Structure 1
């Protein structure tokens, strides 16, 4: 028994050496392992945000008095808005049609007595329209209170836990890390078996004393190392460059990533068993990737989805990994604080690997 285990370990060591050599000897592959995750992190880290940091507002001021001038000055002082003064609504509407302004602020001629304004927002981008209109409404209310010297009946003190400044970047970058690991490891797993088949080496391997478990391990472990390396690399950039705190610790991050890799590698290998070429394997993996990203809650809240899709998302390992990874970055605690998500990650990954192993011929 011991001799058989030792022979198996020797075969596994040789196979792993072959896989790592094949994975890393190509300069293009080394570039793919490092550069794309960093490029995607930087691009999405700056681009993926719902914050409105600047917008052009058309102001149609029919009043021109001290009250309207004070209001316009308070809006300009925020630094978030470029005010374009226009004489009438016809020109303001034309400017919005040309996509030159996002919001129109119309001030009536008798502002001091009517105390009424009109805000027209470009609803083609509903999220930005709501944010801009909401902030402008708040600025108008503050300016009105300052002008009259009135004290609001209730004073609200706001405070956000875990993300004090409500930075979208703190929410999106852990999700970007999850998506990069998810996509890259699934694609690699989908192609490694098919590549052996295309090169004609798969049949040679399967007629050797190498067992099915040894063959799967030699294919899975290098991809798992790539996934963990990408997770640590992206986490280092997120903490060092973007200033996002990693409250939960590196060990919890590695454990959660390894559980995600059970599912991604299992799905990738399962896709490869249905493909004859690497192109077919990539298309098969894409069949899983897009729906799973949509159902993961990366950009769209799961609670807003229909109930059927919420149930379906429970079979998505990326959903559970996102919950864990965002908690590790922002809320702190260890990975053990999420037993439900860890259990489903383990169950889904084991099921995917089992199906891939049964399908492997």
Structure 2
């Protein structure tokens, strides 16, 4: 029995890597997505276009503008001479925001009064706008605190912040570990979803039925390549995350890999179910795509689950990526052990058992 299954596994690997379409689907998309997400997907604000309209000529306003000039979050794209220049600049998206300082700013500060500073921002991209406003608020707050210390006065309340697990609040440390869950799912799903559909389209599936292999042996033979490729792909991304993107791996691989194997098995079950229903490669790819999009959306990869409506939050409990995403991020950044993940492991294990059982049932009934 073991020799028959091993022969089928070898045959599946040969079929996978001999087919140009399958080979490209396994190798090229994960590499491209890793580079795109690793470099382009970021919540950090850098070099946001800022226009300055400084009506004041005093030292206070010049020092305040200098803080923005030295900030890596902003790039000064122009110093305006009139209020009328602000509107057209933002309308044509030449500047994300404009900083306007009142002409009496320095004089008011000298008299012990406040300095009016106005920020006008392009709100068409609300997420970027909020990031920019938070950066402006941070710069102005730090500037005020330093001025108060120089003047010998103390603010009533002073905020001291310390970020645990991600001291510099780098969004890459949050995104790159999530790519491990994302790409492991995509690759595993494609490999398993195409397995039976490829044979049906090539006309070799009937030949497989007349072999001594039993249905469950065929299922194992078609599941193993997905498990090996999925875990191998995830291992490669872990290496890239640690040694290329410099994301710290605080936890142990011995903690991460049991969860990874369970996660890949749950995706294999879904992929084999899709493969059982599909008669062509196009149908299998479409079925995989229809699963991937909602799975990523409902996983918390880019948007917090807590911000979703209640009925959508309930649907996330059926998504294995939701659980593994939590595990991989906590292992990377917190160094948490398996004892912290039982509430994530057992639902993912149930999902894997259910999907593999359903795939076995569908596979047996679709064979005959």
Name structure 1 gaps, 5 residues minimum. 1-7
SS at match of 1:93: helix
Pairwise CA RMSD: 1.7
The CA distance in 1 between the partners of 2:262 and 2:189, in whole Å, is 14
Q: Tell me, yes or no, if the aligned pair for 2:194 and 2:285 is still in contact at 8 Å.
A: yes
Q: CA deviation at 1:206?
A: 1.6
Q: How far apart, CA to CA, are the structure 2 residues paired with 1:301 and 1:256?
A: 22
Please name the residue that 1:125 is paired with: 125
* Corresponding residue to 1:54 among 47, 53, 72: 47
Deviation at 1:33, TM superposition (A): 3.9
> Could you tell me whether the CA contact under 8 Å between 2:25 and 2:190 is conserved in 1?
no
TM-score normalized by the length of structure 1:
0.93
Aligned counterparts of 1:186 and 1:336: Cα–Cα separation in 2: 29
Partner secondary structure for residue 124 of structure 2: coil
Q: Are residues 1:109 and 2:112 paired?
A: no
The residue number in structure 1 matching 2:111 is none
Q: Would you say the 8 A contact 1:163–1:170 is kept in 2?
A: yes
Alignment partner, residue 209 of structure 1? 212
2:60 counterpart of 1:72: no
- The match for 1:22 among 15, 21, 42 is 15
Q: What is the CA–CA distance in structure 2 between the aligned matches of 1:267 and 1:48, rounded to whole Å?
A: 28
Within 5 A, what are the aligned runs for 1:321-332? Answer: 321-332=324-335
Q: What is the rounded CA distance, in whole Å, between the counterparts of 2:196 and 2:308 in structure 1?
A: 36
What is the distance in 2 between the residues matched to 1:117 and 1:169? 33
Secondary structure of the corresponding residue to residue 251 of structure 2: coil
Query: Structure 2 stretches of 5 or more lacking a match?
Result: 109-113
Distance 1:277 1:126, change over 3 A: same
Question: CA shift at 1:209, angstroms?
Answer: 1.9
How many residues align? The count is 354
Shift of 1:144: 3.5
1:105 deviates by: 1.0
State TM-score, norm by structure 2: 0.91
Q: Does 1:179 align with 2:182?
A: yes
Out of 18, 37, 60, which is 1:44 matched to? Answer: 37
Alignment of 1:1-361 (within 5 A): 8-25=1-18, 32-83=25-76, 84-111=78-105, 112-113=107-108, 114-147=114-147, 149=151, 150-360=153-363, 361=366
Distance 1:32 1:193 in 2: 16
Shift of 1:30: 5.2
Secondary structure at the aligned position of 1:263 is classed as: helix
